[in-house]
Structure 1
Amino acid sequence: MDASFQPASVEDLRELIKWAAAEATPLEVFGSGSKRTLGRQVQAAHALTLSKLAGVDVYEPAELVMTAKAGTPIADIERLVQENGQELSFEPIDYGRLLGLEPGQGTLGGVLTANLSGPRRIKAGAARDHILGMEAVSGRGEIFNSGGRVVKNVTGYDLPRALCGSWGTLAVASTVTIKVNPASQTSETLVLTNLDDARAVKAMCKAMGSSAEVSGAAHLPNGLNGEGARTYLRLEGFVESVRYRRENLARLLDDFGPVAKVQAEETAKIWRSIKDVEPFWSNSGPVWRISVAPTAGPVLVGALSKLFQLEAFYDWSGGLVWLNCSDGRVHDVDIRRVIGTVGGGHGTLIRADAAQRASTQVFQPQPASLAALSQRLKEQFDPKGILNPGRMGSQTQ
């Protein structure tokens, strides 16, 4: 990098991007850099880091709303809301340890652009569903606002949804307003043991289809510590409600074998490990994050296991497959082909070395019609292509 810019205000950010657009000078945009190795290497001479655009502007616990700068560490935000008996219900993933870094380095802006959502997504929704408003600067060098706590909206665009998952290729967020929720009074996890993948998914889908209000459903074929297959179902809420729902759910799942119970403290550890992909921390192979229909998860893993050596576990009731290529190869062609045969889905290469990322389509290729729409969106927000060029490969959004 020839230079690293650290704007301290939205006006500084606007002037920097306006200069880069005028000079057709590409910028690598990031917060703390905790996810710089995810995606292809950015083709840019200069870096734009949001580390100085940090801090909470407004937090009103009674109103369940917070406005903070994009460079604010998400760990600081989680700590603050926890002190007030609240939570970020979408449970943002921390990729730190998976990518060989220290945990707790991600920022609010990074959560937005990567749309990081953990196990509770199946009940609470994705990160983008919790964004009320934002202020951002387009690749044209224009400040614009959308959603709550602003005076000007961008006509025709749902800005938070457009930027979630864009990986900094459309605009640079400066301030984000998010909703927070009261934390549960207690939580418990029901554990089923020694189920094969297909039967575990049946159990999870049955639980999700019940009135138990399950807020987490995951299956680990090797458990968290190599203790054998474990299927986890999380219940949260008021003490009496959790007890009542747990008893009903245990009866409902009687056909799947004995049901054990884990209390709140151990429950928190279990779901933090699942959220942050702990089973693959010590492995060195490429890691894929694959989203398919829940019942297709075991079919996908079964088909791929015949082609190469792998490890896998399931979140989101089987709809999210975390897959580690144990032989060190990426296997992108096989993975994308099998995704198509099981009914479609999305596969993203989360961890790989630089050479593998450079030769692989890291993000799921888009159908022609969607790719054309993405290109038009890119032309509206960043016509000179100065923001994170190359990060998403041939995709523009």
Structure 2
Amino acid sequence: MTELLTPESETEAAGIIARHFETGVPLALCGGNTRSGFGNPQRAEATLSSSTLSGIVSYEPSEMVMTARAGTPLAEIEAALRKNGQFLAFEPMDHRGIMNTEGTPTIGGVFAANVSGPRRFALAGAARDHLLGARFINGKGEAIKAGGRVMKNVTGLDLARLMAGSHGTLGFLTEVTFKVLPAPKAATTIIVSDLTDDDAIALMAAAMALPLEVSGAAHLPYSVRPAFLSGALEGDSVTCLRLEGLPESVAVRAEKLKDYAGAIGSVAELDATKTATLWREIRDAAPYAEKSLRPLWRVSIAPSEAAKLVADIRLEAAVDALYDWQGGLIWMRMDGAPEPGRLRALIKAHGGGHATLMRADPTARALIPAFEPQPPAIAALSARIKQKLDPKGIFSPGKMAKEEMAA
């Protein structure tokens, strides 16, 4: 059984890592362990957790900047922000449902995995785009500070962003500084029913091109539609377009969007409460929050190619799909084998993208690279970065050096 190490301070964590550097014994890193089982199987005998490095260090609502220790529960961060009418605009998903895990999501884990939700493609960007600075310990046991409290302070900022999405392969995060934004005062969702996947992709693209500031665009085919809002959404499929902002602005934009979409399909509107619930379920890929090891892929591709890709993979495999990010993000569940070779070949044929294996049985996880294989030049660069920060390769053995989430 893997030993769980829970240091009470950055100094203690540095000492643990330094000892592993001396011996060369592998060490896995985690936050709240909500993504355990993700990636390829690890060979570490011990896991170093940041869960006890917890607490908000500083928070200036007027400056819209917060600094927190890496193990601070995400719920604690969000509660503090709500009191001041602010939020994490990149909308980090909760992986516990699709990964069949428990644990507690932490702010360090969010940035280490670059966890970004439905606003990623539109207005907010990815988690790494909100990261201003970080403290972490490299593979030698050395504490490093990168970045600062404001975006203008770019010294070391790239190094901080490099940690975002590294999945514990480059360093052990101990503290993060990030920007926050005012939460929208109002929100609504325009629902368009009964569109095919192709027509839904076309509508979402058109809606995004309108001057209406759509902050969410997702398509829920019939196979997944009953998993949302307790099955209350009507239609063979539903295409969801979210609007947020000041109440008066949202109301005007909603009427314009309904007028436009009404010429394409049957239109309905959700209130703010149902909107919040729906987009939380979309964010967390609710249909796949199941007690199952059926292969689940997270696919990033050009939105215009999304429906074509799903149609092509269905020619030889039973596939269920959910489209987010205007089609640029596809949650794809296989009813049989993971089919990594065929899926990745089709992605390349459709202009390129990334396929990340989020969930599979242990045998498949041991054999299939969880992350999209990198082009040789990028792989060489990743290897050099890994060598600099973790020269003996003690961190997270079995994972790739850097996930390429184009998303």
Q: If the length of structure 2 is used for normalisation, what is the TM-score? A: 0.92
Residues 1:288 and 2:297 are matched in the alignment:
yes
List aligned pairs for 1:79-98, cutoff 5 A: 79-98=79-98
Aligned amino acid, residue 113 of structure 1: A
Q: Secondary structure at the match of 1:256?
A: coil
Query: Is the Cα–Cα contact under 8 Å of residues 149 and 178 in structure 2 kept in the other structure?
Result: no
Shift in CA distance, 376/347, structure 1 to aligned 2, threshold 3 Å: same
Residues 1:105 and 2:104 are matched in the alignment:
yes
**Counterpart pick for 1:304 among 291, 310, 313:** 313
Query: Is the Cα–Cα contact under 8 Å of residues 297 and 357 in structure 2 kept in the other structure?
Result: yes
Question: Partner residue of 1:117?
Answer: 116
State the distance in 2 between where 1:156 and 1:76 align: 28
Question: Partner residue of 2:357?
Answer: 349
Question: Partner residue of 1:173?
Answer: 173
State the distance in 2 between where 1:206 and 1:112 align: 32
**Counterpart pick for 1:319 among 320, 324, 328:** 328
Q: Secondary structure at the match of 2:117?
A: coil
Query: Is the Cα–Cα contact under 8 Å of residues 168 and 388 in structure 1 kept in the other structure?
Result: yes
Query: Is the Cα–Cα contact under 8 Å of residues 146 and 154 in structure 1 kept in the other structure?
Result: no
Deviation at 1:157, TM superposition (A): 6.5
State the distance in 1 between where 2:217 and 2:352 align: 21
Residues 1:267 and 2:275 are matched in the alignment:
yes
State the distance in 2 between where 1:129 and 1:83 align: 23
Question: Partner residue of 2:5?
Answer: 5
Aligned amino acid, residue 295 of structure 2: P
Deviations 1:288-329 (A, max 9, x none): 0000000110011000111111110100001000001023x2
Deviation at 1:175, TM superposition (A): 0.3
Deviation at 1:206, TM superposition (A): 0.6
Deviation at 1:31, TM superposition (A): 1.2
Deviation at 1:258, TM superposition (A): 2.8
State the distance in 2 between where 1:130 and 1:60 align: 15
Aligned amino acid, residue 81 of structure 1: L
Aligned amino acid, residue 105 of structure 2: G
Query: Is the Cα–Cα contact under 8 Å of residues 56 and 72 in structure 1 kept in the other structure?
Result: yes
Shift in CA distance, 283/313, structure 1 to aligned 2, threshold 3 Å: farther
| Structure 1 stretches lacking a partner, 5+ long | none
Question: Partner residue of 1:335?
Answer: 343
Shift in CA distance, 395/115, structure 1 to aligned 2, threshold 3 Å: closer
| Structure 2 stretches lacking a partner, 5+ long | none
Aligned amino acid, residue 196 of structure 1: T
Deviation at 1:155, TM superposition (A): 6.6
**Counterpart pick for 2:394 among 363, 386, 392:** 386
Runs of 4+ in 1 over 4 A off after TM superposition: 153-157, 394-397
Q: If the length of structure 1 is used for normalisation, what is the TM-score? A: 0.95
Question: Partner residue of 2:367?
Answer: 359
State the distance in 2 between where 1:384 and 1:391 align: 14
State the distance in 2 between where 1:232 and 1:157 align: 36
Q: Secondary structure at the match of 1:298?
A: helix
Deviation at 1:254, TM superposition (A): 3.3
State the distance in 2 between where 1:169 and 1:312 align: 30
State the distance in 1 between where 2:24 and 2:203 align: 54
State the distance in 2 between where 1:45 and 1:282 align: 29
State the distance in 1 between where 2:31 and 2:392 align: 22
Deviation at 1:351, TM superposition (A): 1.2
Which moves more between the two structures, 243-252 or 195-204?
243-252
Query: Is the Cα–Cα contact under 8 Å of residues 145 and 154 in structure 1 kept in the other structure?
Result: no
State the distance in 1 between where 2:356 and 2:263 align: 35
Shift in CA distance, 127/395, structure 1 to aligned 2, threshold 3 Å: closer
- Matched length: 392
Q: Secondary structure at the match of 1:97?
A: helix
Q: Secondary structure at the match of 2:278?
A: helix
Query: Is the Cα–Cα contact under 8 Å of residues 374 and 396 in structure 1 kept in the other structure?
Result: no
State the distance in 2 between where 1:323 and 1:291 align: 11
Deviations 1:238-274 (A, max 9, x none): 0000011111222232331232111100000100000
